[in-house]
């Protein structure tokens, strides 16, 4: 075995696995498994399979997940840039499947970065309801927001907040909550050697304290009758069965529910905590029995890395949500003035275009153009539908949010909703996330590129393209000149501006194709 595992970790695993230990340790000689998950917000599973240039094998616990073969590089294909799939470790697809998300529900992903599980939740919501994705790390929330935008999520909000602060704003609000908790990462040792270097014998106990607090905050935000899925990517029973037992002991309205597709997984192992006499005495035997209904994904028993998950079901009945947080008005213009951000409502200082002579009075401040007027004009002239939700303006940035602005007051918001674009000097400039979430029939000018030629890659690299006017598919009465939705094999990838036979590339620099 090339990977050098910590001696303390090996001793503990040998103690708890006993006759399974040899098979477990042999699994580290196998290459990590890799997979993709189909983005059903943009493409059906059947259509992706018909387009796929790779051999794909179904992942048993995820109907939209597929194993990719060793050496395949799905991240270096135009379909990745069109957001047709998410590259994800197969075991990591299990927790969201157990969350049982339905369209129209309100879902919180509490420890969401870099966004794989959030994109999976978004696909299950199918553009209906609400997804709030949160992470405390500022750098990781950037990746989280970008992944949601690439995936074409319209009904998502991204926060960078402590769970307890979110709980103060959204008590008893969510139908489903995912807690993919920070952990010691033992299940990822084969996939990520950095996790091995960061681990020490005290890691499980250090993370357990954090996990308890996060799970308690999640319980405050769940509706009666709702569901929490708690998951980790570690083997440590102190971070898994012990956390669940303590939670159930303190929250009488919850019980552990056996996960669907549990035939793929091993059951929980409360016996491994028998040596902790203090914990064993504090938790009633019937609660320890419940922890057997949790699930463990072992790398020597499945084709995937190590994971743990628990389905925590609230026993109450559903209640109506608070009136403040009723979502989705009839149209985005209904609450236009009411929903502008406080920053936008303040007058801004104008700029003088001419030079002032010595001693001359200051030029009068020019009135600031209303950013919403330019935005609404763009929507009317370019989109074949009117976006739902609430229009929120932060500075020059305009969003369509599934929540009213006041619902987010006091929270650190990274993205209040679907990022539509910027109002600049009386003009509206559409943002890349507006394009990635559109379907071709929703935009009045469309250019289709094919992945089989170099043209799609040239676009993704940011190059200007020679494009004849007749290639721009326009709605009736529309000229080819102007903003164009650029699609790859029929799926949106970004914007361009067409004029006089040239497509000016609007693909953002930070998103561009850099593969050789």
Which residues are marked as active site?
A: 233
Would you list the DSSP string of 11-40?
HHHHHHHGGGHHHHHHGGGSPPPEEEEE-T
Structure tokens at 233: 């990517």
The answer to whether the CB of 236 falls within 8 A of the CB of 186 is yes
CB atoms within 10 A of CB 193: 13
H-assigned helices in 77-202: 78-81, 94-99, 116-125, 138-151, 163-169, 193-198
CA distance 160 to 132: 11
Distance, in Å, from the CA atom of 65 to the CA atom of 88, rounded to the nearest integer, reads: 9
Sheet arrangement for strand 445-449: 465-466, 502-505, 491-499, 482-488, 445-449, 472-474
Classify burial at 140, counting beta carbons within 10 Å of its beta carbon; exposed 0-12, middle 13-18, buried 19 or more: middle
CA distance 393 to 405: 9
Taking alpha carbons only, the member of 373, 304, 314 closest to residue 340 is 373
CA torsion sign for 470, 474, 475, 477 is negative
Encode burial over 112-125: b for 16+ CB neighbours within 10 A, e otherwise.
Answer: bbbbbbbbbbbbbb
> The tokens of 112 are what?
């969401």
Nearest of 297, 289, 287 to residue 248 by alpha carbon: 287
Alpha-carbon distance of 284 to 295, in angstroms, equals: 20
Q: Edge-to-edge strands of the sheet including 418-424?
A: 390-394, 397-401, 418-424, 427-430
How does strand 156-159 pair with strand 413-415? antiparallel
Phi, psi (rounded to 5 degrees) for 219: -60, -35
């Amino acid at each position: 075995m090339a990977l050098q595992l910590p001696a303390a970790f090996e001793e503990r695993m040998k103690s708890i696995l006993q006759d399974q230990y040899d098979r477990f340790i042999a699994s580290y000689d196998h290459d990590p498994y890799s997979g993709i998950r189909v983005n059903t917000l943009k493409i059906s599973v059947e259509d992706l399979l018909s387009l796929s240039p790779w051999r794909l094998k179904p992942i048993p616990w995820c109907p939209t997940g597929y194993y990719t073969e060793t050496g395949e590089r799905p991240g270096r294909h135009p379909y990745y840039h069109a957001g047709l799939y998410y590259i994800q470790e197969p075991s990591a697809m299990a927790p969201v499947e157990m969350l049982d998300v339905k369209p129209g529900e309100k879902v919180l992903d509490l420890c969401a970065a870099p966004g794989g599980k959030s994109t999976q939740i978004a696909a299950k919501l199918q553009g209906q309801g609400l997804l709030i994705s949160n992470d405390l790390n500022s750098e990781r929330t950037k990746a989280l927001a970008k992944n949601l935008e690439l995936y074409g999520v319209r009904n998502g909000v991204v926060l960078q907040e402590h769970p307890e602060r979110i709980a103060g704003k959204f008590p008893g609000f969510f139908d489903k909550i995912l807690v993919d908790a920070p952990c010691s990462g033992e299940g990822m040792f084969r996939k990520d050697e950095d996790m091995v270097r960061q681990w020490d014998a005290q890691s499980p106990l250090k993370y357990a304290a954090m996990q308890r607090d996060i799970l308690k905050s999640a319980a405050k935000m769940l509706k009666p009758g709702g569901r929490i899925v708690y998951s980790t990517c570690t083997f440590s029973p102190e971070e898994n069965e012990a956390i669940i037992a303590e939670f159930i002991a303190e929250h009488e309205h919850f019980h552990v529910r056996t996960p669907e597709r549990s035939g793929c997984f091993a059951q929980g192992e409360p016996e491994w905590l028998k040596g902790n006499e203090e914990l064993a005495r504090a938790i009633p035997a019937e609660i320890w029995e419940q922890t057997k209904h949790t699930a463990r994904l072992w790398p020597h028993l499945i084709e995937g890395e190590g994971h743990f998950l628990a389905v925590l079901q609230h026993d109450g009945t559903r209640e109506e949500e608070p009136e403040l947080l009723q979502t989705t008005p009839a149209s985005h213009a209904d609450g236009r003035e009411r929903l502008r951000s406080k920053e936008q409502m303040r007058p801004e200082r104008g700029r003088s275009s001419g030079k002032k002579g010595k001693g001359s009075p200051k030029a009068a401040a020019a009135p600031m153009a209303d950013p919403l007027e330019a935005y609404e004009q763009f929507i009317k002239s370019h989109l074949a539908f009117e976006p739902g939700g609430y229009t929120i303006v932060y500075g020059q940035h305009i969003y369509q949010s599934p929540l009213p602005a006041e619902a987010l007051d006091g929270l650190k918001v990274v993205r209040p909703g679907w990022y539509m674009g910027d109002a600049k000097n009386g003009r509206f400039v559409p943002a890349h996330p507006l394009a990635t979430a559109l379907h071709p029939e929703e935009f009045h000018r469309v250019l289709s590129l094919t992945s089989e030629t170099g043209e799609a890659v040239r676009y993704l690299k940011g190059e200007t393209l020679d494009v004849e006017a007749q290639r721009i598919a326009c709605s009736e009465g529309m000229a080819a000149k102007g903003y164009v939705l650029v699609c790859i094999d029929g799926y949106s990838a970004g914007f361009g501006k067409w004029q006089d036979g040239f497509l000016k590339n609007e693909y953002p620099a930070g998103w561009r194709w850099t593969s050789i």
